[in-house]
A and B are shown apart, each in its own frame.
Chain A
């Protein structure tokens, strides 16, 4: 599990910006963590069913019924910018 990684590339995927001055600290942390986590490599997991959630076996379903829980005003009231009841963002390239 000697993983090669590029913090900036990961940050890019996560839409985070790491300033150059902080890069070293993030890298050191990452390296330590991965070193620590390398212990997992030694566990024999052949044939082990991954556990995603603790107790669930099957999803409950909801009936196909319409319910208006929130007005459009409530939906928009926390938005940074709104125009014509639409969320507004800078031009998307």
Chain B
């Protein structure tokens, strides 16, 4: 239904009573059942979605920009009365009594939240294999991972389970699954979307963003989510009012940066060819191709993992079995509780998965007495250098283009026992996260194995609107029309 029709065109029809939101929502909810059995992309369907669709059809949201648009939301966003598990056992039965600011914005503009999507536990992962509810699969090939951590949101849009989904990106968690699943994924500038109501992984890196089948679809939802919120102290008033979702940037004279270090990475051959082909096309269109260097790229992984793990170890301390979430005091030997520490340890050890535990341990270590300076503090300093690299690069170019990951989607289980190689996956997405830059992934084509290849665009801070205009132009140029069938 949304394969050929844009979200804004559909919404216009709903407002004109030429299309029924109820019918659309019913179709989607019924339609996802079979494919979702294979994909495991959707964790929960919103029971109130149909009721809301009826309200939309009654004209209650006729002034909205997203009237009647069905949206899936990653399960680390709070929606009042719906589960918000972050794919963790520790939040299995948690139903927040509040709605995330950005989701509220979508609802205010008439969108219908139809369900919650699978993810890596607490957004920690690049394959969606770290979910308490089982892995999500790639709709292009069920043996492959959809990427992570927003794997469910990316897979669902690719498989047509919803036209738009919401995800979060801490070190690449929107861009990488978007590239693995052949959809558009946008992460805005850090601070553009309020984090209020988004379950925290790493506070200084987490940003909400969107997936769509087209730049315009993803950007429209993101534009609605970008809103000044006084409940998030790191939220900023953006200099742009809209994302110019339907405008294309004239390519002539645009300075396109190609990062030496990104292209020097151990890139998959087909991916490299596709990227280089794209750069060549841009050149033909009148873009000025500029070689730029981000000399601290190699440190992005250690810096990212230290900063993210440190913040996460702290952010996840609140899961203690006292006020909400799991309390599981069982022990294999049925020993009685020894002390207060034992009380916490039991619940937390039962509630968190291994990858989450690994990162909590790493973060705890990195902040602990005697190691703080060499690990956390050092990482924060190198983070500054990585950010400065971008500043220097943007003196020479308007946008950076390059790969999102070093290769297309990998097979399930392939990297599960090799955390380092899994972490290395994020080498091309974490630098922009550390610098807080807007960046996105666009489908570029398919590999010979029919796996999507993605192109990453990174823009200077608060140039989200220009990035979207540039991406619109790129999208026309690339003309990716392939769809997958599940």
In the complex, A touching B (Cβ < 8 A): yes
Chain A residues near B (Cβ < 8 Å): 1, 3, 5, 7, 10-18, 22, 26, 29-30, 32-33, 36-37, 39-41, 43, 45, 48-56, 59-60, 62, 69-70, 74-75, 77-81, 87, 89-90, 92-93
Q: Are B383 and A50 in contact (CB under 8 A)?
A: yes
Q: Are A62 and B234 in contact (CB under 8 A)?
A: no
A16 partner residues in chain B, CB cutoff 8 A: 345, 348-349, 352, 357, 360-361
| In the bound complex, CA of A45 to CA of B388 (Å) | 13
B277 partner residues in chain A, CB cutoff 8 A: none
B190 partner residues in chain A, CB cutoff 8 A: 53-55
Per the 8 Å Cβ criterion, residues 330-357 of B in contact with A are 337, 339-341, 343-346, 348-349, 352, 354, 357
Whether a CB of chain A sits under 8 angstroms from the CB of B20 is no
Q: Are A13 and B204 in contact (CB under 8 A)?
A: no
Q: Are B365 and A69 in contact (CB under 8 A)?
A: no
- Of all chain B residues, which has the CB nearest A28? B419
Whether a CB of chain A sits under 8 angstroms from the CB of B5 is no
Chain B residues near A (Cβ < 8 Å): 93-98, 189-191, 203-204, 230, 233-234, 236, 296, 298-299, 301-303, 305-306, 313, 317, 320-327, 329, 337, 339-341, 343-346, 348-349, 352, 354, 357-358, 360-362, 364-365, 368, 371, 374-375, 377-385, 387, 419-420, 423, 434-436, 461
Task: Name which of B296, B302, B317, B384 has the most chain A CB atoms within 10 A of its CB.
Answer: B302
Secondary structure call for the A interface: loop
Known contacts A15-B348, A43-B382, A52-B380; A80/B327 CB under 8 A: yes
CB of B205 to closest CB in A, whole Å:
8
Q: Are B305 and A7 in contact (CB under 8 A)?
A: no
Q: Are A29 and B230 in contact (CB under 8 A)?
A: no
Q: Are B320 and A15 in contact (CB under 8 A)?
A: yes
Q: Are A90 and B380 in contact (CB under 8 A)?
A: no
| In the bound complex, CA of A18 to CA of B380 (Å) | 29
| In the bound complex, CA of A68 to CA of B378 (Å) | 42
A26 partner residues in chain B, CB cutoff 8 A: 357-358, 361
| In the bound complex, CA of A13 to CA of B325 (Å) | 21
Known contacts A10-B365, A16-B360, A43-B382; A33/B371 CB under 8 A: no
Known contacts A1-B374, A32-B420; 8 further A-B pairs (Cβ under 8 A): A10-B364, A29-B419, A40-B379, A49-B384, A54-B190, A56-B191, A87-B322, A89-B343
